[in-house]
A and B are shown apart, each in its own frame.
Chain A
Amino acid sequence: MFKYTVKRILQLIPVLLGVSIIVFLIMRVFSPDPAGVVLGQHATPDAMQAWRQENGLNNPIWLQYWNFLIDALHGDLGTSYYTHSPVTQEIASRFPATVELAICAIILASIFGILLGVISSVKKNSLADHASMILALIGVSMPIFWSGMLMIILFSGTWHLLPSSGRIDPMLQPVGGTGLYLIDTLFSGDFEAFGNALQHLILPTVALSLYSMAIITRMTRSSMLETLDQDYIRTAEAKGLTRGRVVQHHALRNAMIPVTTVIGLQFGSLLGGAVLTETVFAWPGIGKYTVECILKSDFPVVQGVVLLIAVIFVLLNLVVDIIYAFLDPRIKYAKKEG
């Protein structure tokens, strides 16, 4: 197990290097000259040249990459062209908002996805089964930003039940702490602020979770159906165990192994999907910020965000693989090859 973990961590190094190269190349090679974008159309060629010199853009591309890599390893992702503050600082101030949203969404998606999947597999071809499958199909077919806006129309516009934008009432905003408002307000005992933050979270969380929920439902259902078909389930039933006990103790545990993988992968894509959800709900996280930076060509920030999310995604995959190996002793640790 230890050997497997170490090996998987070592395998990460080329992948992470590759990610950094891709992100760097996309931003530096394909993109238009940032000098023109940042300084505006009326900048003199001299000023543009000076700006390029100052930002190291006159160096050969390999040297630029090398500097970028070394700086990144030291935790320096460059400075924003516009605010002139370090990219890491820009990201750090907005990242907790995204993390809070993504964690809530993956929890919601997992709970309901597994629940619906189990129900529809146990009651196969029942009304509940068909209903969850239709729900899952709609979940993967509806654009996340559309369902989000529909929710705003209904819950904020029509029924005035929930706020449509922001993270918390500015008057109640907690100072310092983890940046995860639910946790910060809970620990400071400020329940009014906690309730307010929770209210703000509901709509974006539901909108962001729908797609993952649908995927998890489908995966749970097919994995459960496969498991319920196994001989040991029939044995357990022949022993006279109740259906509920068989499902809970024999089927569910085995069926959950592939579902864990899907949940891990979905968390990564939630971070990507947050770009859309945050834009719809004016959620002050890195997703919304990235879109703003793209629209004004603030490349260092976009580069930093994409790199950060890719690194998280890769690390998550590693964790999922290791958990998977833990859960399923049948997996040969060398299997990952090839």
Chain B
Amino acid sequence: MKKRRTSEAAASAQILEKPESLWRSMWDSLKENRAAMISLFVIAALVLIAVTTAIFPKILPYDPYDQDLSQAKLWPSPAHICGTDQNGRDIFARILVGTQISLSVGLAAVTISLVIGVVLGAIAGYRGGKIDAVIMRFMDIMLSIPSILLAIAFMAALGKGIDKAVIAIGLVSIPEYARIVRSQILSVKENDYVQAARVIGDKDGRIIFRHILPNVTSSIVVRATLGISSAVLDTAALGFLGLGVQPPLAEWGDMLGRARGMILQFPYMLIFPGLAITITVLAFNLLGDGLRDALDPKSRKN
């Protein structure tokens, strides 16, 4: 009798394990999406460029920081495929090096907003009541200032610099994550398994991290992927306004800002950095859309 029950338990455990993991099925349907796969490839290439140029700067055809005024403002040619800038630096080399800043700022800013947003959203959703009201009203207030303007205001106060841009861009997207996590938590909070965890005496922190957050990671991943694209865009915008990197660092938006006065005489100077921004942002947008569709079969239908 006892033996039979154990085998029954084993059988039911097997049934429980059988469904494909969410990640697995997400990946399977992502593979079907050609645009998402291409963008994944593009992102991998960008990461490779950023890492390689950071570790082996010698691989670049020209030193991206080396000024040579005798070589200034050269139109694209076989020697300089994207031309040279007003200080005689090779634009192609600067674009390649620029991936380092765009990707690392994008990633760092998203990490800031993700960590703070998830924690705040989790507390608000799980605790409810007054804490929830205070946190979410604060998020509403932040959302009521257009994000690029809020980022600019932060930059105005913190001063120029790429490290400050990371903070400014990271801070302004906190509310989006907090909202997503909060609403997801509200929807799973009353589920039986959460109640069960509470009954066996798990602490709140453990319940949130072990039982609730794993259920919301997929939607956070989608949001974060799209978040990187807007962080890259915002970084470029701050750079363009002259609030981003300090010279001689290479950043795409900054390159555009400095070429602005000469666009009619030397239009090539702004074509390539702008293209680099657009391709990067496009890749993260497409991947984010693909991930969302993979998660939500309903939106795939459309």
Which residues does A use to contact B, with CB under 8 Å?
14-15, 18-19, 22-23, 26-27, 29-32, 137-138, 140-146, 149-150, 152-153, 156-157, 221-222, 225-226, 268-269, 271-273, 275-276, 279-280, 290-291, 294-295, 297, 299, 302, 306, 309-310, 313-314, 317
Contacts and interface: CB of A to CB of B under 8 A. Distances in A.
B256 A313 contact: no
B145 A22 contact: yes
A157 B263 contact: yes
Interface stretch (B71-79, B151-159, B203-211): B151-159
A18 B149 contact: no
Nearest to A313: B144
Contacts of B137: 14-15, 18
A22 B264 contact: no
B285 A140 contact: yes
B43 interface: no
Contacts of A302: 153, 156
Contacts of A290: 152
B240 A276 contact: yes
Given A149-B256, A317-B144, A143 B157 contact: no
Contact of A272 (B147, B155, B159, B270): B147
Contacts of B277: 143, 146
B178 to A, nearest CB: 15
Contact of B241 (A14, A26, A275, A299): A275
- Could you tell me the dominant secondary structure of chain A's interface residues? helix
B237 A143 contact: yes
Given A15-B137, A18-B141, A141-B282, A146 B256 contact: yes
Contact of A137 (B154, B240, B263, B285): B285
A145 B263 CA distance: 12
Contact of B144 (A143, A145, A226, A314): A314
A146 B144 contact: no
Nearest to B136: A338
Interface string B118-157: 0000000000000000000110111011111110111111
B285 A141 contact: yes
Given A26-B157, A280-B260, A309 B145 contact: yes
Contacts of B282: 137-138, 141
Given A30-B157, A226-B302, A269-B146, 16 more contacts: A18-B141, A23-B145, A23-B153, A30-B158, A137-B286, A141-B229, A145-B240, A149-B256, A222-B302, A269-B148, A272-B147, A273-B148, A280-B260, A294-B156, A302-B153, A306-B150
Which of B148, B155, B242, B299 has the most A CB atoms < 10 Å from its CB? B148
A291 B237 CA distance: 12
A15 B140 contact: yes
A141 B138 CA distance: 29
Contact of B281 (A27, A141, A150): A141
B274 A291 contact: no
